[in-house]
A and B are shown apart, each in its own frame.
Chain A
Amino acid sequence: MIEFTKDLLRHLMKGNKLYYAWLSVLGLFIAMGAIAYFWQADKGLIVTNMRDQVSWGFYISNFTFFVGVAAAAVMLVIPSYIYNFKPIKEIVLFGEMMAVMAVVMCILFVVADMGKPLYAWHLMLHPNFPSSLLVWDVIVLNGYLLINLSAVLYVLYRAAQGKEYKMSVMWPIVFMSIPWAFSIHTVTAFLYNGLSARPFWNASIVAPRFIASALCSGPALMILVFQIARKVSEVDVSNEAIQKIAELIAYMMGLNLFLYAAEIFKEFYSQSVHMAPMDYLFFGLEKGGVHHNVLVPFTWVALCCNVTAFIIFLMPGMRHRFTTMNIACVLVLIGVYIEKGMGLIVPGFIPDTLGEIYDYLPSATELLVSAGIWSVGALIYTILLKTAIPIYKGELSLIPKGQRRKIPVH
């Protein structure tokens, strides 16, 4: 084991200039994020642009988006284990690693948002269960992290011993992970959905839309990361697998846009006072002689991105060409990041419960801390990849040195 750890460290240190440049960039952002966070811890959350009117902002927006990304794994788990689809089965591990990364980022974003993070253990002593959805969310997110981490560790452990994983061990993990992936979305959606004080969230379409948009953004991120990974390392991801994922995104984006349209129709046709948050998103609100419209450009960008991406994914010719498909993936990421991040959280608070409009955009501190957390996520994924690849190639093994023989990848 000690030898394995030494070998692992050696492999993590090994890399070309690009690898070191990448690590340095991540390190720089993590350091800046840490400094910004300690500044926030000293001064209080007053260094953010959140206030009593808009009491959740950029951190919770990012949290919500990454809950979606965490579901990416399930899009691979179902075709690989349930349908035994070979091209996807070869990469399912990388999807599970992405889930691990995303859930860790979720937890970090929530901690960054807390006023007294040191006292988070109070949750364990007196959890308001089952009443508080936040307690549910803590349970499902940590559970999902545990499930995916055990899947990743088990598969890598077996591979390091030069053996295939046993399906008898994998099945329980797989069967847990599928409903659990949907549960992290549903519970996170219910977290907002259950608040009658916020008409924008208190709509039953929130949870279905969560799932639909999550099953777009997660896989889109995976497609991009897999292509980068196979370019810069010896990871083998087949075009067939990528095309399959792209096809799934097309369906999900269609569903997502349909649900979005249903919501837009309901608000703008019925024209009740509860239309205000939607109106704020698309056109801005007039109050006291001021036109409040800071989110308007973002909303339209998101809508255009999602619609364009949908058209690209829908047309087989465009989908099969990697350039257009990659553009579409980037568009999906931008679109869903806005729509399910700031576009979902902030308008929940606008107008606030007493009718005030507070225009919120994140402060520099919030941006720095968030960039730091993004970098932590990227670093985690890099380390996981750098561990998995040599294990699969047989360069990193638990078998004593003399007895090794090269095992084929997969």
Chain B
Amino acid sequence: MKRREFIKSAAIGLGGLLMPVDKSDASLWETFFQKYFREMTPEEKKKVSQRLEKEYKDKTGVQINIKTNEALPGVKFGYGLDLSRCIGCRRCVYACVTENNLSRNPQIQYITVLEFKNGEKWVNDLEESNKYYEHDTVPEPGHFYMPVQCQQCDNPPCVKVCPTKATWKEPDGIVVVDYNWCIGCRYCMAACPYGARKFNWGEPQVPPEQFNSNTHYLGNRPKFKGHVEKCTFCIQRTRENPGRYPACVEICPVGARKFGNLLDPESEISLCIETKRVFRLKEELNTHPSFFYFFSL
């Protein structure tokens, strides 16, 4: 690091502390005093998403759409993962990155695929896991894979500890974060038993031409440095009516990922839970995940 660069940057930081840079005065004021999302009227939500859309357009020239639609009645999402089928190809990881506009530099990924050696202990503290495997082809003989992402707990420890209520559980079971309300204390990251929460340590960077313009306020909208984010079951897709699968379910080449409405007894996920012997990760912690693992073979 050059000393001059350091000092210049520190000076910008001083300015940045006093005001977010690159913004007009009115927008600055509105950004700083933006209300808590759950207290906004529908009109206010619309105004805020229009402002955020405009900010992104001014910055990159790309028009995006930020939806704020609410949970559909009679829906509670559940997720199933067939460990017998997963081959550890990580297509889900990258489909998620693209769909959810996750920062490419520094890298943020919502899904972590863990590799285990057959016969080694694995299920409790996952201490024998390897997430940095690099084989030419997968699956590696003698190994199996377990992808982990937000488990959308019914008793979420992250929500319990958040000091500002910036994260909460929606009626359809999705745990969401209001990025503008989060103060970046990272208490939720310490509380999450699944490593599901990711922090924007630096300014998130996504090439504008690769930016997915179909976004949701509580999901894949543009993000900033200094707040926490997490998997939302692709809220921008699953809350459409008719809904679409999350990107990870859609991309999975072996059909290891199942998704649906837990309240509908005929849904794929309900049938999985009924016919397979399912388990949930770290069940001893009583977090009650809506994410079910099972073996089909």
Contacts and interface: CB of A to CB of B under 8 A. Distances in A.
Interface in A105-142: 110, 113-120, 122-123, 125-128, 131-135, 138
Interface in A85-118: 110, 113-118
A46 interface: yes
Interface in B128-175: 128-132, 148, 157, 160-166
Given A38-B14, A197-B191, A127 B199 contact: no
Given A44-B225, A197-B190, A354 B6 contact: no
A273 to B, nearest CB: 5
B157 A196 contact: yes
Interface of A: 35-46, 48, 50-53, 55-56, 110, 113-120, 122-123, 125-128, 131-135, 138, 191-192, 194-199, 273-274, 276, 288, 348-349, 351-356
B127 interface: yes
Interface in B180-196: 181-187, 189-195
- Looking at A52, A191, A276, A352, the one whose CB has the most chain B CB atoms below 10 A away is A52
B100 interface: no
A46 B204 CA distance: 11
B210 to A, nearest CB: 21
A38 B36 contact: no
B184 A114 contact: yes
Contacts, number: 183
B163 A198 contact: no
Contact of B128 (A46, A353, A355): A355
A39 to B, nearest CB: 4
Contact of A355 (B7, B32, B129, B192): B129
A198 B189 CA distance: 11
A39 B132 CA distance: 31
A313 B164 CA distance: 45
Nearest to B189: A55
Contacts of B195: 52-53, 352-354
Contacts of B286: 196
A409 to B, nearest CB: 44
A310 to B, nearest CB: 31
A197 B185 contact: no
17 contacts: A38-B17, A42-B12, A45-B184, A45-B202, A52-B201, A114-B185, A115-B226, A118-B17, A122-B183, A126-B36, A128-B161, A134-B161, A197-B192, A199-B125, A274-B125, A351-B127, A355-B127
Contacts of A50: 201
A42 B1 CA distance: 14
Contacts of B182: 115-116, 119
Contacts of B157: 195-197
Given A43-B13, A132-B163, A276-B127, A122 B181 contact: yes
Size bracket of the B interface: 35 or more
Interface in B76-124: 106, 112, 114, 121, 124
Given A44-B201, A44-B202, A123 B164 contact: yes
Contacts of B187: 132, 134, 191
Given A55-B190, A123-B164, A41 B129 contact: no
A116 B199 CA distance: 12
A3 B149 CA distance: 65
Contacts of B17: 38, 41, 117-118
B143 to A, nearest CB: 14
Nearest to B129: A355
Contacts of A194: 161
A127 B10 contact: no
Contacts of B193: 196-197, 353
Interface in B1-24: 6-7, 9-14, 16-17
A276 B125 contact: yes
B244 interface: no
A46 B125 contact: no
A115 B199 contact: yes
A123 B183 contact: yes
Contacts of A117: 17, 183-184
B140 to A, nearest CB: 14
Contacts of A39: 6, 9-10, 13
B164 A288 contact: no
Nearest to B148: A354
